[in-house]
Structures are given as C-alpha cells and as structure tokens.
Chains A and B, each alone.
Chain A
Amino acid sequence: DTEVTQTPKHLVMGMTNKKSLKCEQHMGHRAMYWYKQKAKKPPELMFVYSYEKLSINESVPSRFSPECPNSSLLNLHLHALQPEDSALYLCASSLTGGGTDTQYFGPGTRLTVL
C-alpha cells in the first residue's frame, strides 16, 4: 500500500468553528508532514513529525494545532481560522524524515473559511 489518504476532501467552515483534518498512511513511514498550498503557488511546509514527535513547526499560527496519535495517523486541528487560511492542505509521509527521503503526498483537503 503506497497511498496516503486524507479526509475530508472538501471542508467549509466558519471563523468560529472547530474542525479537524485527518491523514493516514500504512507504508510504515515514521515521518509525516503538513503542507499548505494556495492556488497557483508551491506547497509550503507547516509541520513535520518524526517518530511521532513534532520536529519542525514553521512558525505556524496557533490556530493550527497538529497531532500525531500514532505512527500511521496525523491530524490537524483547526480553530478560529481566517478567510486567508482557505487553501489546499496536503499531508505527506516519508520513511524516516531524513534529508534524502522521498515524500508521498495525499490528495489533500480543500478548505474554505467563510
């Protein structure tokens, strides 16, 4: 199984809502990533988990809260988002998180904040 799955595919939320994005992989990878991608722009790294510990936080606002319950799952909890947070949120995984790892991306969650 070489697939990274993400749910939901689409999400519309108000600025006062709390929602969560979910990501799952069963490739035995020990590193998982969250990226944000605005339209016609490259993906931007948000968080990196390595062996279930947060190893990189790219100065992301606290209204985004990542969680890694186990080595196969990655969540992104959303609270009090702004309309400018509307974007495609991509999850990825790689073997160990080492600098030469190949990253496998999921299909993404397209988020709209009203």
Chain B
Amino acid sequence: GQQVMQIPQYQHVQEGEDFTTYCNSSTTLSNIQWYKQRPGGHPVFLIQLVKSGEVKKQKRLTFQFGEAKKNSSLHITATQTTDVGTYFCAGPKDQTGANNLFFGTGTRLTVIP
C-alpha cells in the first residue's frame, strides 16, 4: 500500500536556527499538501504544491515539490517558538481525483527559546 514517510520524526532546534522536514512517497502524487498541528490542536492547512519542481514561499517557510512528484520538503528559516508543532505532508491516496488524503508520518518540531 501507499507509504508516505517523513524525516526526521522529531527535531529540537534552538530558536533562530533553521529547520527542514522531508516527505517521501512510495507513489507519484498528483499534488501534495502541508498541514501544521499545534500540540493539542487540529491540522491547519499551510500550502498545496501541484507542479513538478514547484517552489512556494510563505514568509519564513519554503516548500518544494520534487521533480518526480514523489518527494517534498518544508524549510523554516530562523525558527520561532510559534513554529512549534507537528508538520504533516499529505497527498491523495489514489489517482481517482478524489480528495482522500493520506497523511505522512509527521515531524514534531520543538523550538527551545
């Protein structure tokens, strides 16, 4: 079955340091979405990437979709304590065009003040 792995599983950084999480799918994805879940909270949509090799930026966050559309990354520059949470990538489970998201394993980010 489909697998979407994220590395690292956990990351502790000092405030101000950069952070990157990598997402690798066993299958080609038509698009990839990124969500953030704060401790005790619910997933919140961050961004969607559709095109091969696409790069999108949101302030200190940079998202990239691989050329083969099987991997993606999220890079945060100069982390802040508000960045704490678990970052999930997610893609459609199959090629039917339905929005049946399959979430990656997640990377839990801790930012030390």
Q: Residues on A close to B: CB < 8 A?
A: 31, 33, 40-45, 48, 50, 55-56, 58, 90, 94, 97-108
Known: A45-B101, A94-B99, A102-B48; 10 extra A-B contacts, CB below 8 A, are A42-B104, A42-B105, A43-B43, A43-B88, A99-B31, A100-B50, A103-B43, A105-B42, A107-B42, A108-B42
Q: In chain A, what residue has the closest Cβ to B42?
A: A105
Asked whether, in the complex, the Cβ of A98 is within 8 Å of the Cβ of B44, the reply is no
Asked whether, in the complex, the Cβ of B104 is within 8 Å of the Cβ of A56, the reply is no
Asked whether, in the complex, the Cβ of B88 is within 8 Å of the Cβ of A48, the reply is no
Asked whether, in the complex, the Cβ of A97 is within 8 Å of the Cβ of B99, the reply is yes
| B30 contacts the other chain (CB 8 A) | yes
Asked whether, in the complex, the Cβ of B42 is within 8 Å of the Cβ of A56, the reply is no
B residues less than 8 Å from A56 (CB atoms): 98, 100
B residues less than 8 Å from A98 (CB atoms): 97-99
Q: 4 tightest A-B contacts by CB?
A: A42-B103, A105-B42, A99-B97, A101-B99
Q: In chain A, what residue has the closest Cβ to B10?
A: A40
Tally chain B residues at the interface, Cβ within 8 Å. Answer: 26
User: Could you name 21 residue pairs across A and B whose Cβ atoms are closer than 8 Å?
Assistant: A42-B88, A42-B105, A43-B88, A43-B103, A45-B100, A48-B100, A90-B42, A90-B43, A97-B98, A97-B99, A99-B30, A99-B97, A100-B48, A100-B99, A102-B33, A103-B33, A103-B43, A103-B99, A103-B101, A105-B43, A108-B42
Tell me the smallest distance from the CB of A44 to a CB of chain B, in Å: 7
Instruction: Fill in one digit per residue for B85-113: 1 if any A CB lies within 8 Å of its CB, else 0.
Output: 00010101100111111111110100000
Q: In chain B, what residue has the closest Cβ to A42?
A: B103
B residues less than 8 Å from A41 (CB atoms): 106
**8 Å CB contact of A44 from B42, B45, B103:** B103
A residues less than 8 Å from B30 (CB atoms): 99-100
Tell me the smallest distance from the CB of B83 to a CB of chain A, in Å: 19
Tell me the smallest distance from the CB of A3 to a CB of chain B, in Å: 11
Q: Taking each of A44, A98, A100, which has the highest tally of chain B beta carbons within 10 Å of its own beta carbon?
A: A100
